Amino acid sequence: MAITHVAVANHNETDPATELTITIPASTQIDDILILSLENGGAVDNPTVTDNDTGGNTWALVIEQNGSTDEVTIWWKRATSGTAGKTITASGFTDSCAGSCSVYRGCITSGNPYEQQVGESNGLFDTSMIGITPTVNGAMVCLTVGTGSGNNSITDPSCTDPGALTSRADVGSSGGSGCRIMHASREQTTAAATGDFTWTISTNDSASVAFNLKPAEDESSSSSSSGHSSSSSSSSLSSLSSQSSLSSSSSSGVGDESSSSSS
């Protein structure tokens, strides 16, 4: 099953400053992976992230990256039966904030669904960052870029492989000095170096992060490989058992012969 981007939800407020809320998409299903992208427009501090998904999984930090006076953080959680429709609350921002939650389906169903996370602080007019190299085929390559220097759109996310990325969210706030965050992704067919990531932004410095999500096929492949190993081991044990049986039979014959000779 390939990884697909199912839905996205942005912050509910018009121009959030120190706190924001996001309603988790109603289409979310069990084992979907939620990726939360947050921009703290006025400080290099991590926000606090909670939700009212009682009994569900908690949010965990994937990566944080400081800009010149701002910070981008990526969070994740695996959905359970009651996750859909719940409300995420992120607080502790300074000056302005922005956020978006993307829902991905088809990722591994246990353990961390991500790898290769890396971040960069980008100066004025610097619209690129180092790439990543996924270790599995069918990975979902993700890029998030945030700025605390104004509410200007961030567009044209791309890399060499898989190429132009699909922008899942480009949302901002005009609260305080203004800020913006963009999240983009695309499936990579065969594991390979992505090459540098690039984007377009008008006269702003930024903070950027990249990572990839791992597909359920990787999980199945490991399980299948383990199964073949077990089968091979079982076959070897069977062979050893047969050899042992033949050896035992031969040993028994020699004893009989010795007994006959003795009589």
DSSP states of 151-203 as a string?
A: ---EEEEE-SSS-BPEEEEEEEE-STT-EEEEEEEEE-SS------EEEEESS
User: What is the distance in angstroms between the CA of the first residue and the CA of the last residue of the chain?
Assistant: 73
Nearest CA to 40 out of 20, 60, 12 is that of 20
| Helix, strand, coil tally for the chain in percent (to 5) | 20, 40, 40
Structure confidence at residue 78 (pLDDT): 98
Tens digit of pLDDT for each residue in 160-185? 999 999 999 999 999 999 999 999 99
Structure confidence at residue 100 (pLDDT): 98
Instruction: Answer yes or no: pTM beyond 0.75.
Output: yes
Query: Residue 80 in contact with residue 53, Cβ under 8 Å?
Result: yes
The segments of the chain whose pLDDT lies below 50 read 222-263
Rounded CA-CA distance 75/155 in Å is 22
Structure confidence at residue 203 (pLDDT): 72
Structure confidence at residue 221 (pLDDT): 53
